[in-house]
């Protein structure tokens, strides 16, 4: 139970009936009756019985009815036939899906086989008329009194899906960073949703699809209705959140009010309030504890479990809080003669599971109250006729304070079943005047014989009823086993369908992602085709038109990098080669590059002296990247032909000066060696 539990006094109830037209035709109109809650303290509130007093009547179209439901969010939308709001099963499922959280469609005339509305209204004392507006009002009043069945196509499980709010798409050079940001935001929002679900103490399962930088999506399967979940549909920036209830296999009808058995309730008040519910046979039904709930929450939870006839405490005297609970339920109270010791509580609750000491104390109080009344329950049950509700008799005796006979007399439809001096003895009082007068002993014997005959007849009747009941029990047990078998088969089918649906969703997500990747790669292929055309047979024509030169990129000036570039797109004579990192090369590496006879080498970084000399000796022009900027697209690149020509001319001028300097240096060296050779013999002499 949560603090968001819907109460009838807080929201209106809509009653609906077809006014004119047909739901399978065009534009049907509906008679609408709205029962609004009225504040008892409001001086302008109308006088009426019950919480629903203000009535609004109108004739609306289906579209306006849907708008009013969205705006007012009624507790119930009541009708005598759910298919007056939908043409078929699929339309009905769509209508149920469109209802706001917490709004329920109620068929007041029953489940799959509804009764006439007039009969249901008469049974519950609701005014009825044949006009559509009267039928709509009767439906609204019946639903407000919790009469009818909720029409549902969904389970109490809800799927919360967190996914990308936009496609990763084309991101250019920043694509990785763009994709990583989206997936990171999905992961962040997923953690926020998970934190909120944990704070609300909801049971859930999580399924995550991890992607580069975070999550592509995450799905939470929550054991709760959407109105109980602290998350709603939203879409903000990179992330969207979708909340959707799990679909049933078909349409189901659930009664608004279920039968509640008589129970014994143990209460342990304090900072943490705990309650325990035990049946009249000593079975533990439910336990509850909370630090934040108030008296109203505990009372509402208790009402959901059953009708208390005994409210028990584990201490003497009974705490005032427990006494208030007892009075609110008009139940009998129970308390021990002295405070129950902890070891006795532990022993009495040893076979039950509980979460904390407060639940243990409440459960011990309820179980000891049952122990104290167990014999009384058995005596009352033994005296209760088979046709009467045993629990109702026990409640009348224990909580109502009456005798067994008086309670049975009140509950019995036969007025003469309460004692021995009924009409049966009246006939015995009429005697034949011709017979001799009987003595007192003879009269006593006669009455006893008649009583024996009645008891024997009653015993035979009971034996016959018992035999019929045994046969019926055996028949019902067989039906129960068959129903369980069918339910197991159906449950397996539902699980298989759920698995297939999840697998379908996963494959669809993968398909969408693959399509996005294909679109991205197609764009790259178009760019590569354009660059390929620039680098092949028609390059001269394109260069003449666009003034571009194809450039082949080498990541690092090493033998491995040269081999990788040669394998990727080939290094041939006349290529313009771009060294992304020109440092660190030796003689062998430079000679390997020179063997390809490139037109020019664009370097980024400084060449080693050895590599620079080898390339110079092979007449390979080397120009800096600052002089010829390179524009890259993936592994391929282009440069301006004009800028390249200017850089090559500049290299030729520098190379000519360098050759002259080297020749001059070489001539000076020869002269120096020649002079050294002539002076050497004179020195030796």
Q: In a 3-state reduction of DSSP, which class is residue 28?
A: coil
* Whether the Cβ atoms of residue 422 and residue 333 lie closer than 8 Å to each other: no
Q: In a 3-state reduction of DSSP, which class is residue 424?
A: helix
Q: Tell me the chain's radius of gyration from C-alpha atoms.
A: 46
pLDDT value of position 258: 62
Determine the distance from the C-alpha atom of residue 593 to the mean position of all C-alpha atoms in its chain, rounded to a whole number: 64
Strands 29-37 and 13-20: what pairing? antiparallel
| 13 strand-pairing partners | 35, 76
* Whether the Cβ atoms of residue 102 and residue 6 lie closer than 8 Å to each other: yes
pLDDT value of position 76: 93
pLDDT value of position 30: 93
Q: How far apart are CA 51 and CA 38, in angstroms?
A: 6
Instruction: Report which DSSP code applies to 608.
Output: P
Q: How far apart are CA 75 and CA 143, in angstroms?
A: 9
Q: How far apart are CA 548 and CA 543, in angstroms?
A: 5
Helix (H) or strand (E) holding 250: strand 239-255
Instruction: Report which DSSP code applies to 581.
Output: -
pLDDT value of position 44: 55
Q: In a 3-state reduction of DSSP, which class is residue 221?
A: strand
Q: How far apart are CA 322 and CA 67, in angstroms?
A: 46
* Whether the Cβ atoms of residue 385 and residue 408 lie closer than 8 Å to each other: yes
**Phi (first) and psi of residue 62, to 5 degrees:** -65, -40
Q: How far apart are CA 334 and CA 344, in angstroms?
A: 17
pLDDT value of position 8: 42
493: which residues sit within 8 A by CB, 6+ positions away? Answer: 249
**Residue 682, both tokens:** 């004179």
pLDDT value of position 683: 47
16: which residues sit within 8 A by CB, 6+ positions away? Answer: 30, 31, 32, 33, 65, 77, 78, 79, 84, 85, 136, 139
pLDDT value of position 47: 44
pLDDT value of position 41: 52
Low-confidence ranges of the chain (pLDDT < 50): 1-8, 46-52, 413-436, 537, 539-540, 542-544, 683-685
* Whether the Cβ atoms of residue 92 and residue 62 lie closer than 8 Å to each other: no
**Residue 139, both tokens:** 């439906």
């Amino acid at each position: 139970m949560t603090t968001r539990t819907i109460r009838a006094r807080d929201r209106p109830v809509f009653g609906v009936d077809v006014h004119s037209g047909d739901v399978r035709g065009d534009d049907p109109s509906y008679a609408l009756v709205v029962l609004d809650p009225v504040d008892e303290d409001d001086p302008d509130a109308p006088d009426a019985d019950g919480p629903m007093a203000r009535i609004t009547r109108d004739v609306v179209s289906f579209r306006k009815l849907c708008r009013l439901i969205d705006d007012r969010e009624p507790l119930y939308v009541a009708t005598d036939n759910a298919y007056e709001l939908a043409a078929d099963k699929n339309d009905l499922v769509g209508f149920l899906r469109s209802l706001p959280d917490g709004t329920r469609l109620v068929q007041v005339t029953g489940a799959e086989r509804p009764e006439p509305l007039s009969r249901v209204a008469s049974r519950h004392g609701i005014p009825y008329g044949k006009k559509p507006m009267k039928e709509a009002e009767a439906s609204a009043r019946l639903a407000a009194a919790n009469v009818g069945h909720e029409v549902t196509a969904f389970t109490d499980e809800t799927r919360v899906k967190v996914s990308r709010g936009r496609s990763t798409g084309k991101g250019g050079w920043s694509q990785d960073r763009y994709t990583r940001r989206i997936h990171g935001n999905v992961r962040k929002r997923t953690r926020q949703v998970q934190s909120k679900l944990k704070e609300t103490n909801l049971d859930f399962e999580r399924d995550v699809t991890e992607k580069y930088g975070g999550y592509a999506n995450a799905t939470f399967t929550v054991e709760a209705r959407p109105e109980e979940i602290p998350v709603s549909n939203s879409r903000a920036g990179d992330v969207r959140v979708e909340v959707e209830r799990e679909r049933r296999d078909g349409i189901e009808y659930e009664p608004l009010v279920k039968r509640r058995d008589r129970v014994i309730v143990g209460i342990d008040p304090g900072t943490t309030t705990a309650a325990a519910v035990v049946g009249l046979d000593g079975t533990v039904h439910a336990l509850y504890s909370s630090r934040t709930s108030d008296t109203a929450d505990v009372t509402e939870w208790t009402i959901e479990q059953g009708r208390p006839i005994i409210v028990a405490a584990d201490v003497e005297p009974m705490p005032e809080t427990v006494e208030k609970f007892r009075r609110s339920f008009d139940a009998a109270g129970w308390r021990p003669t002295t405070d129950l010791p902890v070891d006795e509580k532990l022993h009495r609750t040893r076979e039950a599971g509980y979460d904390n000491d407060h639940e243990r104390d409440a459960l011990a109080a309820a179980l000891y109250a049952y122990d104290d009344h167990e014999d009384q329950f058995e005596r009352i049950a033994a005296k209760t006729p088979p046709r009467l509700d045993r629990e109702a008799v026990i409640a009348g005796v224990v909580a109502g304070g009456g005798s067994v006979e008086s309670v049975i007399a009140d509950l019995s439809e036969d007025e003469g079943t309460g004692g021995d001096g009924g009409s049966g003895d009246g006939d015995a009082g009429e005697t034949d005047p011709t017979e001799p007068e009987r003595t007192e002993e003879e009269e006593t014997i006669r009455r006893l014989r008649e009583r024996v005959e009645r008891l024997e007849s009653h015993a035979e009747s009971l034996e016959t009823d018992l035999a019929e009941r045994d046969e019926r029990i055996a028949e019902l047990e067989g039906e129960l086993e068959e129903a369980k078998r069918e339910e197991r088969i159906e449950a397996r089918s539902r699980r298989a369908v759920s698995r297939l649906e999840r697998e379908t969703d996963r494959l669809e997500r993968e398909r969408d992602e693959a399509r996005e990747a294909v679109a991205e790669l197609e764009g790259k292929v178009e760019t590569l085709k354009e660059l390929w055309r620039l680098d092949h047979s028609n390059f001269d024509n394109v260069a003449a038109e666009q003034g571009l030169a194809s450039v082949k990129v080498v990541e690092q000036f090493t033998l491995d990098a040269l081999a990788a570039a040669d394998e990727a797109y080939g290094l041939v004579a006349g290529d313009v080669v771009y060294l992304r990192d020109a440092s660190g090369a030796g003689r062998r590496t430079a000679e390997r590059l020179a063997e390809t006879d490139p037109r020019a080498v664009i370097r980024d970084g400084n060449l080693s002296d050895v590599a620079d000399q080898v390339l110079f000796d092979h007449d390979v022009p080397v120009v800096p990247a600052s002089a010829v900027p390179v524009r890259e697209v993936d592994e391929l690149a282009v440069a301006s032909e004009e800028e390249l020509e200017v850089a090559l001319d500049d290299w030729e001028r520098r190379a000519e000066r360098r050759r002259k300097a080297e020749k001059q240096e070489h001539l000076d060296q020869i002269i120096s060696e020649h002079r050294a050779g002539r002076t050497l013999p004179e020195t030796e002499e």
